Amino acid sequence: MPKNNENMMSVKGLTKVFKSGVFKPQYTVAVKDVSFDIKPGTILSLIGESGSGKTTIGKLILKLLKPTAGQIYYKNKDVAQINDKKEVKEYYKKVQGIFQDPFATFNPLYRVDRIFEIIFSSFGYDQTNKEERIHKVLNDVNLNPGRILGKFPHQLSGGQLQRLLIARALLMDVDVLIADELISMLDASTRIGVLNLLVDLCKENGMSVLFITHDLNLGYYISDYTLIMYKGRLVEKGDTKKVYQNPIHPYTKMLFNSVPDIGRRWDKEEEFLPEQVVDDVRKFYATNQGRGIEEIEEEHSVLFSLK
Amino acid sequence: MRENILEVKNLKAYYKILKGQVKAVDDLTFNIKKGEILGLAGESGCGKSTLASTLISRKPPLHHISGEVKLNGKEIMQIPEEDFKPMRLKNISLIPQYALDAFSPTKKIKTFIIDLVQEHGIKPDREFFDKVKERLYLVNLDPSVLERYSIELSGGMKQRVIMVISTILNPDFIIADEITSALDVSSQRFVATMLANLRDEGIIGSAMFITHDLSILYQIAERIMIMYAGCFIEIGPTEEIVKNPRHPYTKALIASLPQVGIQYQDKKLSGIKGTPPQLLNIGEGCRFRYRCQYADKQCEISPVRERINEGHYISCWRWKELGSDNNA
Ligand SMILES: Nc1ncnc2c1ncn2[C@@H]1O[C@H](COP(=O)(O)OP(=O)(O)OP(=O)(O)O)[C@@H](O)[C@H]1O
Ligand SMILES: Nc1ncnc2c1ncn2[C@@H]1O[C@H](COP(=O)(O)OP(=O)(O)OP(=O)(O)O)[C@@H](O)[C@H]1O
Ligand SMILES: [Mg+2]
Ligand SMILES: [Mg+2]
C-alpha cells in the first residue's frame, strides 16, 4: 500500500477516440481529456449517461484498450510502460475489473469451482487454506458455497452471477477494483450487504474502488468522491457531499432530478427530453466561455466551458 | 371490468436436474389486464426470469409441471412448438435480462436483426427498416448503430436496440426483464416512460415489467406482484403495495430501499437478515418463514392465497393479525 497521501491511481488527460469502419471511417470520441486521482482506501463513483464513456475509462485502466492520449499512473508508474508478461500479470493481480455483463464474463463450460481454481493456478497465489478462503468470500457475498460451487454459470440468476464476480475479486485481494454496474441486478436488500462489504474492505485493507453506477442514492451512500461524466468529459467532480448538495453543471442537475423516488411520481408535465439537456449544456458553456475547469470550492470542480 | 390478456393459474415450472427439482416457479396465480403494466419484483434468484422463460419458451431443463396459462383466452402451456412459434414477437415477446449478451460481436447489428426476424418469418425489407429507424429515434439512438458491431456499443445502447427489436411487431403482451437495470437514471426514465408511452399509443398491448427496483415500478406499474423463493407473496395496486404493504416480506423489502441522502459513515443500512432457502427439492411451508419475525407453527404449512380487497391478494397465514402498520 502506498503512503496515505500518495495516489493509488492517477489519470491525466485521458482521451480515447474509436475509429470504426474501414472505407468510410467514423470517429467516436468516447473519452476526452479526463483527469482524476484515486487515493488508497477510497471509493470514487463514476456516474453519467449511457454512452458517456464510463466503461471505456474502466477498460483503459485495465489495459484492455490503449489510450489515444493521456496517461494512467498506478503507484506513480506509467501503466503504458507495463509491457512485459510478468509485469502485466503483476498489474492484473492488483488491479481488477468486474464488468457490466455478468453472463459474458464466465466461461459457460466451467463450473464455479473451476473458476476459482483458475485464479489460484494462473496468478500463482498461495494455496494454503484455499478452500476455506473460497468459502469465506462466498459467504461474504451472501452465496451458499455448498449450493454454488458445483453449478455452471447458466444455472445461476443474474444477481447470483454478479455476486460471484465480487467474491472472485475479493479473493484476489486487489489494490484497485473497477466495478462497472456491479450491483445493478441486485435487489435493495442484497445490495446493501454487498456494498457494506465493499466499504469495509476499503477501510480495512486500503483497497480503492472505482464504482461505475447509475444509482445516485447508492453512489451517495458509499463513495468518498464523485465524478460526473457527460459526452466523454468529466463535467463535475469532487467530494461526494459537496457535489450532491451543490450541483452546478446542468447535466448534474438534471441527473439529480431524474432519480426515481418511491412515493413521488415523475412529473408528467415536465416531460423528460434528452434534447433539452443538450440545449441546456450548450447554453451553459456559451455563457461561461473561456473558463474551462474551475474549482468552485475546496474539493469540488466544474467544467464551465469547452475551451 | 377490463378483459385479461394473461391468466395464470396455479402455475408450476421446475428445473429438472440430476439432484432433483429446482422449484423456481411454484404455484403462481395472477392475471394481467388488457392495457395494464404489471410490475414483478423480488430478491435476486426468486424466479422472476424463470417465470418469463416459462411463459415464452420452456427449454429443458426447465419444465412446465402443472397449472394453466391463457394468453388472450387461449391455453399456451400445452400447444406444440410449431403453433407457438408464430406467436412470439407478435402476441407475446420478451426483452431478455441477458440482452447485453445476445449480440454476437462479429455481426453487425443490422445482420443480427435480419437473422432474427427472418427466423420469425418476417421479411426485413426497406419498409421494415424504416420502422426500425423510426423506433431507434424514439429511444434516442442514431440509425447508424445498425451499421455498427455490438462491441462498439455501450451497455445502455445495446439494451435500447434490444428493446426496439422486441417491440417491432407491436406485441399484444411484452415481458421486459430488468431492461433498466444497466442504465443511468436519465436513460432509465426514458426507457420506462417509453414503454408506458408505447402502451398508451396502443403499439404494445400489455406488459410485465420485471425489476428489483421498486422505485421504477412505482413510476409505471398499475399493480405490483412480489415473489419470494419461487412463490407468490402479494399482488396489489402499486400505491397499496408501496405505501401499505401487508406481507412481512413486502414490508421488509420496502423498508430496505436505499433512502436518499444517507452516507455509510453516518448510518450503516442493513438488508433483510439471512438468505433465501435453497429451491432444490424444497418442501412444504411458507418459504419466508426462516427469515420472518412473525413465523409460527402454522407457517410450516404452505399458506393459501387470500383476497384482501379488489385486486389485492396475499399468501400469508398471519396477515390479518399483523394489520397494515408499516414497521416490520
Ligand atoms: N470498441 C469500440 N469501438 C467503437 N466505439 C466504441 C467502442 N467501445 C465503445 N464505443 C463508443 O464509445 C462511447 C462510450 O461507450 P462506453 O461503453 O464507454 O459508455 P458507458 O458510459 O459505459 O455507457 P453505458 O452506461 O451505456 O454502459 C459510445 O458512444 C460507444 O458507442
Ligand atoms: N438452468 C438452471 N438449472 C437449475 N437451476 C436454475 C437454472 N436457471 C436458474 N436456476 C435457479 O432458479 C432460481 C431462479 O432463477 P431466476 O433466474 O429465475 O431468478 P431471478 O428472480 O430472475 O433473479 P435475478 O434477479 O438475480 O435475475 C435460482 O435459484 C437459480 O439458481
Ligand atoms: Mg458501460
Ligand atoms: Mg433474472
Chain B residues touching residue A23 (CB < 8 angstroms)? none
Q: Does A216 touch chain B (CB under 8 A)?
A: yes
User: Residue A147's CB: how many other CB atoms inside 10 A?
Assistant: 16
**Confidence band, pLDDT 50/70/90 cuts, at residue A2:** very low
> Which residue has the CA at smallest separation from atom 19 of ligand 1?
A51
**Confidence band, pLDDT 50/70/90 cuts, at residue A184:** low
Bigger pLDDT: B156 or A34?
A34
Contacts A–B by Cβ distance under 8 A: 183
DSSP per residue, B101-114:
HHS-TTSBHHHHHH
Question: Can you name the residues that pair with A302 across neighbouring β-strands?
Answer: A236, A294
Backbone angles phi, psi at B290, to 5 degrees: -70, -20
- Integer Cα distance of A72 and A274 in angstroms: 32
Domain limits, chain B: 245-328
Q: What are the residues whose beta carbons fall under 8 Å from the beta carbon of B18, sequence distance 6 or more?
A: none
**Confidence band, pLDDT 50/70/90 cuts, at residue B234:** very high
| Range in A5-14, A148-157, B170-179 the model is least confident about | A148-157
User: Which phi-psi region, left, alpha or beta, contains residue B229 (left: φ > 0; alpha: ψ -120 to 50)?
Assistant: left
Residue B328 has pLDDT above 60, yes or no: no
Q: What average pLDDT does this structure show over B299-325?
A: 92
Per the CB < 8 A criterion, the answer to whether B205 and B172 are in contact is yes
Per the CB < 8 A criterion, the answer to whether A91 and A35 are in contact is no
The pLDDT, as a whole number, for residue A29 is 95
- Integer Cα distance of A186 and B181 in angstroms: 9
Which of these, B315, B310, B281, B312, lies nearest to B298 by C-alpha position? Answer: B315
DSSP per residue, B168-224:
TT--SEEEEESTTTTS-HHHHHHHHHHHHHHHHTTSS-EEEEE-S-HHHHHHH-SEE
> Which residue has the CA at smallest separation from atom 6 of ligand 1?
B152
Mutate to test the interface with B, among A42, A52, A186, A187 (most CBs of B within 10 A): A187
Interface contact A103-B100, CB threshold 8 A: yes
Which of these, B203, B3, B204, B171, lies nearest to B87 by C-alpha position? Answer: B171
Is omega for the bond preceding A145 within 30 degrees of 0, making it cis?
Answer: no
Q: Does A221 touch chain B (CB under 8 A)?
A: yes
- The interface predicted TM-score (ipTM) is 0.72
> Which residue has the CA at smallest separation from atom 24 of ligand 1?
A50
- Integer Cα distance of A207 and A214 in angstroms: 22
**Which strands form A176-180's sheet, in the order they lie side by side?**
A95-98, A176-180, A208-213, A43-48, A225-230, A233-239, A300-303, A293-297
Residue length of chain B: 328
Residue B260 has pLDDT above 80, yes or no: no
The pLDDT, as a whole number, for residue A82 is 94
Which of these, A58, A216, A14, lies nearest to B261 by C-alpha position? Answer: A216
Which of these, B159, B122, B129, lies nearest to B146 by C-alpha position? Answer: B129
Strands B92-95 and B173-177: parallel
Bigger pLDDT: B54 or B115?
B54
CA of B201 to the centre of ligand 4 (A): 28
Average pLDDT, chain A: 86
Strands B223-228 and B206-210: unpaired
Mutate to test the interface with B, among A189, A235, A268 (most CBs of B within 10 A): A189
CA of B68 to the centre of ligand 2 (A): 21
**Confidence band, pLDDT 50/70/90 cuts, at residue B185:** confident
Q: What are the residues whose beta carbons fall under 8 Å from the beta carbon of A166, sequence distance 6 or more?
A: A98, A141, A179, A182, A194, A197, A198
**Confidence band, pLDDT 50/70/90 cuts, at residue A271:** low
**Ligand positioned closest to the Cα atom of B24:** 2
Per the CB < 8 A criterion, the answer to whether B77 and B69 are in contact is yes
The pLDDT, as a whole number, for residue B259 is 67
Domain limits, chain A: 40-63+82-223, 238-307
Distance from CA of B3 to the nearest CA of A (A): 27
**β strands within chain B, DSSP E:** 4-17, 20-33, 37-41, 62-71, 74-75, 92-95, 173-177, 206-210, 223-228, 231-237, 305-309, 312-315
Tens of pLDDT, residues A43-82: 999 998 878 999 999 999 999 999 999 999 999 999 999 9
Nearest CA in chain A to B96: A158
The pLDDT, as a whole number, for residue A214 is 78
Chain B residues touching residue A265 (CB < 8 angstroms)? 218-219
Interface contact B181-A184, CB threshold 8 A: yes
Q: What average pLDDT does this structure show over B55-64?
A: 91
**Confidence band, pLDDT 50/70/90 cuts, at residue B6:** very high
User: Which phi-psi region, left, alpha or beta, contains residue B11 (left: φ > 0; alpha: ψ -120 to 50)?
Assistant: beta
Q: Does A276 touch chain B (CB under 8 A)?
A: no
Q: Is A196 in the pocket of ligand 2 (CB under 6 A)?
A: no
Which of these, B212, B266, B234, B241, lies nearest to A191 by C-alpha position? Answer: B212
**Confidence band, pLDDT 50/70/90 cuts, at residue A3:** very low
DSSP for residue B273: S
CA of A192 to the centre of ligand 2 (A): 21
3 state SS of A3: coil
Interface contact A104-B100, CB threshold 8 A: yes
Integer angstrom CA distances of residue B264 from A220, A222, B13, B21, B61: 9, 6, 40, 40, 42
> Which residue has the CA at smallest separation from atom 29 of ligand 2?
B45
In the CATH hierarchy, which fold is given to the domain comprising A40-63+82-223?
Rossmann fold (3.40.50)
Question: Can you name the residues that pair with B307 across neighbouring β-strands?
Answer: B313
DSSP for residue B322: H
- Integer Cα distance of B25 and B225 in angstroms: 14
Share above pLDDT 70 across residues of chain B, in percent, rounded to a whole number = 95
Tens of pLDDT, residues A191-221: 777 788 788 888 888 899 999 987 788 889 8
Nearest CA in chain B to A53: B154
3 state SS of B308: strand
3 state SS of B70: strand
Per the CB < 8 A criterion, the answer to whether A278 and A288 are in contact is no
Per the CB < 8 A criterion, the answer to whether B95 and B174 are in contact is yes
Residue A269 has pLDDT above 60, yes or no: no
Chain B residues touching residue A192 (CB < 8 angstroms)? 256, 258, 269-271
Helix axes A188-205, B248-255, angle to 10 degrees: 40
Residue B139 has pLDDT above 50, yes or no: yes
Tens of pLDDT, residues B65-88: 999 999 999 999 999 988 898 898
> Which residue has the CA at smallest separation from atom 8 of ligand 1?
B152
| Range in A299-303, B5-9, B148-152 the model is least confident about | B148-152
Please identify which residue in the block is written with the cell numbers 416531460.
A271
Mutate to test the interface with B, among A27, A50, A225 (most CBs of B within 10 A): A50
- Integer Cα distance of B38 and B210 in angstroms: 9
User: Which phi-psi region, left, alpha or beta, contains residue B290 (left: φ > 0; alpha: ψ -120 to 50)?
Assistant: alpha
Residue B183 has pLDDT above 90, yes or no: no
Strands A225-230 and A233-239: antiparallel
The cell numbers describing B95, all together, are 426483452
Binding-site residues, ligand 1, Cβ < 6 A: A 18, 20, 28, 30, 48, 50-56, 100; B 151-157, 184
The pLDDT, as a whole number, for residue A104 is 61
- Integer Cα distance of A280 and A249 in angstroms: 9
What percent of the residues of chain A are helix, what percent strand, and what percent coil, each to the nearest 5?
Answer: 40, 25, 35
Distance from CA of A125 to the nearest CA of B (A): 30
* Full-model pTM: 0.84
